[in-house]
Amino acid sequence: MRYDLSPLYRSTVGFDRLFDMLDQVTDVEPLAGWPPYDIEKMGEDQYRITMAVAGFTPDEIELTQTDTTLLVAGKKAEAEGERQYLHRGIAGRAFRQTFNLAEHVKVTGAGLENGLLMIDLKREVPEALKPRRIAIQAGTPALGQDDTPAQIEAKAA
């Protein structure tokens, strides 16, 4: 099912990326839910993705961040010798999971423990892009030390 978001485009400015992400949500891949994962907010600007990857080793999992996309891929190494399973309930199939990250979100670390892959993320907004408070003065705006425009260039007469 797809929703038509075009009426919202007309009444917003600067939210194009948000609407593109909403469009992507409706394009569901068949195995997008495997392996299962949680996304937690650990602090003001800290997050954690926890994925259930039982049976995989750190060597069989690849994490790649490109701009605002985090790719988690896993592929089992070829087993030495044949095993004969009577029942196989632990999935060992290859997977690719993509996460769209907000701007300025970076992966700070990853660990694998008890079959859970934990990926730590942190949002680090550069100082130049953070909001800053601008002081408001009474009267006219200050143009210079003596309230006269500063002379930038003077030509010789």
- The 10s digit of each residue's pLDDT in 80-134 is 667 787 888 877 789 999 999 888 889 999 999 999 999 999 988 777 777 778 8
Residues above pLDDT 90, as percent of the chain: 32
For residue 40, give the DSSP letter. E
Q: Write down the residue that tokens 């690849």 correspond to.
A: 62
- What pLDDT is recorded for position 92? 79
Neighbours of 72 (CB within 10 A): 21
pLDDT digits (tens, 9 = 90+) for 139-150: 776 555 555 555
* 23/120: higher pLDDT: 120
**Range 16-25 contact pairs with CB under 8 angstroms and sequence separation of 24 or more:** 21/100, 24/100
* Mean pLDDT of all residues in 21-48: 75
* Mean pLDDT of all residues in 64-91: 83
For the chain, domains (ranges, CATH) are 1-30 (no CATH), 31-129 (2.60.40.790)
- What pLDDT is recorded for position 83? 75
